[in-house]
Amino acid sequence: MYPNGGERPATFDKPVIFISSRVHCGETCASFFMQGMFDFLSQYNIQSNLLLQHFVFKFVPLLNPDGVARGYWRNDTQGLNLNRQYADPDPILHPTIYAVKAAILHEYAQGKLFAYVDLHGHATKRGHFVFGNTMKD
C-alpha cells in the first residue's frame, strides 16, 4: 500500500529514454529544447505515437532549481557545478543529482534504460549540436 492509499503506479515493459536539463542554470535553451520534445510527444501524429508505443519517456526539466531561482549561470547555491557531481553525489549536498542517478541506475538494473539525454546549451556554439559518449557494446 502506498502512503496516499492508492495502488502502485502503472509500469511498462518498454525501454526508457530518460531526459534531463538545466543542471547549468543559464542554459535556458535546454528548457526550450525539452519543451519542444514534450510538445512533440504530446501531439497525435504518426511519429509521436510510434515513439510512445515503443518507449517510455521520463523527463526531469530542472536539475538545479535553486541556482535557476537565484539567477546563477553554472553553479548551485553552494557554488558547485552539479554536472561534476554524478560520480559520487551526496543525498544532502546534491539531492537532484543523487535522485536522478538513482532513477537512471534503477532503469539500467531493470534492463530498461535505452538512453539518457542530458540537455545543455553552449556559450559559443550556434545551431544544433550533440556531444556524446561511445560505449563498447
**In this predicted model, what pLDDT tens digit does every residue of 3-62 receive, in sequence order?**
566 666 666 789 999 999 988 888 888 888 899 999 999 998 999 999 999 999 999 999
Q: What is the pTM of this model?
A: 0.81
pLDDT in tens, 100-117: 999 999 999 999 999 999
The whole-angstrom separation of Cα 87 and Cα 75 is 17
Burial 22-38 (b: 16+ CB within 10 A, else e): bbbbbbeebbebbeebe
User: How many angstroms separate the CA atoms of 62 and 8, rounded?
Assistant: 25
pLDDT given for residue 12 in this prediction? 78
Domains, the chain, with CATH or none: 16-119 (3.40.630.10)
Indicate the pLDDT class of residue 2, thresholds 50, 70 and 90.
low
